[in-house]
């Protein structure tokens, strides 16, 4: 697969690199709620707590039906995650690390209990894997309504050589209907697909049904299929696009319209 088609000279957490990271003073044994947004234009990150684990309670602003214990959370462009973290007694500074997928670059903020010494952390770490859907398959969202949904296949198209990207059109929707879109990635890059104006639910990955998370952005890795479902209850038109902004401006965008 292709990963990281855009290079940057710095990767930032709260506008800072690891040369000069943000240091957040916290109480000893504090419970911290991390509210993270991947606000980058073209880079996926793994939120990484290192030796610690936390509880993933929400994605894209919606609670999970079942919180998950995690030590890392993949964040495609524009995805959000809420993680509860209990600082262990007697701990030093805890870096909340963000590792660029498929690469060694990283950034962090530091959680600092009273008096804990700050150590310098290299901006390069071990290579991070590309983001996949392993955690996505374990997320549980709301119960899926039993009423039938109209199914539409939406191919995601393009290639690195031409750097032209595209996606299939979504036919006009009928107000009040339930719709399922099967996003079929025919390319060798992953695409974080974002729908405006709605919440959708991840209901299948590669054809396997699941009661997945409620989201507004889902990653579709190379050659994989992700099916999302939503109610047409908020007349648009609404943009529906890859949130990798270079893919979006090169054509991977359409409009969801209500008849």
In what side-by-side order are the strands of the sheet with 62-70?
Answer: 31-37, 80-86, 54-59, 62-70
Euclidean distance between CA atoms 95 and 13, whole angstroms: 11
User: Of the ranges 4-12, 37-45, 92-100, 242-250, which one interacts with Cu ion (CB under 5 A)?
Assistant: 242-250
Euclidean distance between CA atoms 47 and 257, whole angstroms: 35
Binding of Cu ion by 241 (CB under 5 A): no
Q: CB of 201 within 8 A of CB of 236? A: no
For Cu ion, which residue of 99, 191, 215, 225 counts as binding (CB under 5 A)? Answer: 191
Show the site string, 97-126: x = touches Cu ion by CB under 5 A, - = not: ------------------------------
Q: CB of 85 within 8 A of CB of 71? A: no
Nearer to Cu ion, 191 or 225 (CB): 191
User: Of the ranges 19-27, 42-50, 190-198, 199-207, which one interacts with Cu ion (CB under 5 A)?
Assistant: 190-198
- What part of residues 23-82 is at the interface with Cu ion (CB under 5 A)? none
Euclidean distance between CA atoms 255 and 249, whole angstroms: 14
Minimum gap (Å) between residue 237 Cβ and Cu ion? 21
Q: Which helix (H) or strand (E) holds 156?
A: strand 150-159
Nearer to Cu ion, 228 or 242 (CB): 242
Euclidean distance between CA atoms 25 and 86, whole angstroms: 14
Binding of Cu ion by 184 (CB under 5 A): no
User: Of the ranges 57-65, 75-83, 114-122, 247-255, which one interacts with Cu ion (CB under 5 A)?
Assistant: 247-255
Rg (CA), the chain: 19
Nearer to Cu ion, 229 or 242 (CB): 242
Q: Which parts of this chain interact with Cu ion (CB under 5 A)?
A: 191, 242, 244, 247
């Amino acid at each position: 697969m292709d990963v990281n088609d855009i290079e940057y000279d710095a990767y930032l957490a709260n506008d800072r690199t690891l040369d000069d990271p943000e240091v957040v003073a916290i109480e000893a044994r504090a419970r911290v709620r991390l509210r993270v947004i991947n606000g980058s234009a073209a880079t996926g990150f793994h939120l990484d707590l290192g030796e610690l684990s936390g509880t993933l309670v929400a994605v894209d602003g919606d609670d999970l039906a079942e919180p998950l214990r995690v030590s890392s959370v993949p964040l495609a462009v524009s995805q959000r995650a809420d993680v509860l973290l209990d600082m262990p007694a007697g701990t030093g500074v805890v870096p909340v690390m963000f590792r660029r997928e498929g690469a060694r670059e990283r950034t962090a903020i530091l959680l600092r209990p009273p008096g804990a010494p700050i150590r310098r952390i290299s901006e390069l770490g071990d290579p991070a894997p590309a983001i996949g859907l392993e955690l996505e398959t374990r997320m549980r969202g709301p119960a899926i309504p039993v009423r039938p949904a109209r199914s539409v296949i939406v191919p995601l198209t393009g290639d690195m050589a031409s750097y032209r990207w595209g996606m299939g059109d979504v036919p006009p929707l009928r107000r009040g209907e339930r719709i399922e879109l099967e996003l079929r990635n025919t390319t060798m890059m992953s695409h974080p697909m974002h729908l405006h104006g709605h919440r959708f639910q991840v209901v299948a990955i590669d054809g396997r049904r699941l009661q997945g998370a409620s989201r507004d952005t889902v990653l579709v890795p190379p050659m994989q299929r992700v099916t999302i479902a939503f109610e047409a209850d908020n007349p648009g038109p609404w943009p529906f696009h890859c949130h990798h902004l270079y893919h979006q401006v090169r054509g991977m965008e359409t409009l969801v319209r209500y008849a």
